[in-house]
Amino acid sequence: MTMRAIVADHAGGPEVLEMRRVAVPEPGSGELLVETAAAGVNFIDTYRRSGAYSVPFPYTPGTEASGRVVAAGDGVEGFAEGDLITTAEGRDCYADRFAVEADRAVRVPDGVAADAAAALPLQGITAHYLATSAAQPQAGEAVLVHAGAGGVGLLLTQLLVRRGVRVITTASTPEKRELSRGAGADEVLDYGGFADRARELTGGEGVAVVYDGVGRSTFDDSLRALRVRGELVLFGAASGPVPPFDLQRLNAGGSLSITRPSIGHFLRTPEERAWRYRELFGAIADGGLDVRIGARFPLAEAAEAHTALESRATTGKVILEP
């Protein structure tokens, strides 16, 4: 049996992504086969497609998707055919069907639509671990979140605000600034001069934490925006990777810390995974977390979806629908 999938034969720009017919994957032992309802588009898919992160080719992007279980491999317990599941840890998800280890899939609660379920896992789990684990800002402290209208940015802002943290964000256009304010940001800044402005807004002290997924273009000023003993959480490189760095600058800036976290290190056990999903779905259910789908593309237009994400044209989540 065959299905449609997006395939790249080699690294390159979005144009390397082509629609093909390929064999439907067989669910291995402990795996589910899922009919894709929607697949999430993420920056990591673009890093892999472009060759910035190395992957074997031919390459089908996508680790995040939702859909209904159509088959299960040996030894799977706790899932039945027809269950709506979602995951941030699937493989080859830009396709009509995808396989995922059952213990990396979660059942979607009633009341959460299939498209929202695809939009939540990767950016939602990221926002959750950034707010709770990579740094632990306290109620009343001020933090700075870059790209506040982006997928991670909107979710992270809402989760921090729920915890009583004062959130200052950056965003590049008036529309994005409005969206970020709607997510609860106290102040939304232009990128120009953001470090000085963040300092002014904190009585000259600086912020406790900067969450920086933009990377090269913001890194230096992110350090300057921190208070003494502040923490820089560098979690991405939307503008490019940060060049090598002299550790002495952390001392000069006021005994600062930097961490460079990755989602996989914050989903270490079944209990940790269950806790993060439980808190995210709980926040959706009580109305405290809005998952914004900013753009939808048909599966065949995966290249256009990558172009939109890389060119800063999107807000919230980008999804592909078969």
Contacting positions for ligand NDP (CB under 6 A): 42-44, 122-123, 126, 147, 149-153, 171-172, 176, 213-214, 217, 235-239, 261-263, 310, 312, 314
Q: What are φ and ψ of residue 55, in 5° steps?
A: -140, 155
Looking at residue 163, the DSSP 8-state letter turns out to be T
To ligand NDP, the closest distance from the beta carbon of 273 in angstroms equals 14
Q: Which amino acid is at 206?
A: G
Q: How far apart are CA 93 and CA 95, in angstroms?
A: 5
Give DSSP secondary structure letters for 60-91. Answer: ---S-EEEEEEEE-TT--S--TT-EEEESS-B
Q: Which is nearer to ligand NDP, 69 or 149 (CB)?
A: 149
Smallest distance from ligand NDP to CB 55, Å: 15
Nearer to ligand NDP by Cβ, of 25 and 40: the residue is: 40
Residue type, 83: D
Tally the residues of the chain.
Answer: 322
**Six-digit token string for 158:** 């809402």
| Beta-strand pair 65-72/31-41 | antiparallel
In angstroms, give the least distance from the CB of 3 to ligand NDP: 26
Cβ-in-10-Å burial (0-12, 13-18, 19+) of 246 comes to exposed
d(CA 206, CA 198): 6
Q: How far is the CB of 248 from ligand NDP (least distance, A)?
A: 25
Provide the minimum distance between the beta carbon of 103 and ligand NDP in the complex, in angstroms, as a whole number. 20
Nearer to ligand NDP, 193 or 254 (CB): 193
Between 72 and 232, name the residue whose CB sits nearer to ligand NDP.
Answer: 232
Q: Least distance (Å) from ligand NDP to the CB of residue 304?
A: 16
Q: Which residue has the tokens 């120009």?
A: 192
Q: Which is nearer to ligand NDP, 33 or 238 (CB)?
A: 238
Do the beta carbons of residue 94 and residue 5 sit within 8 Å? yes
Nearer to ligand NDP, 165 or 189 (CB): 189
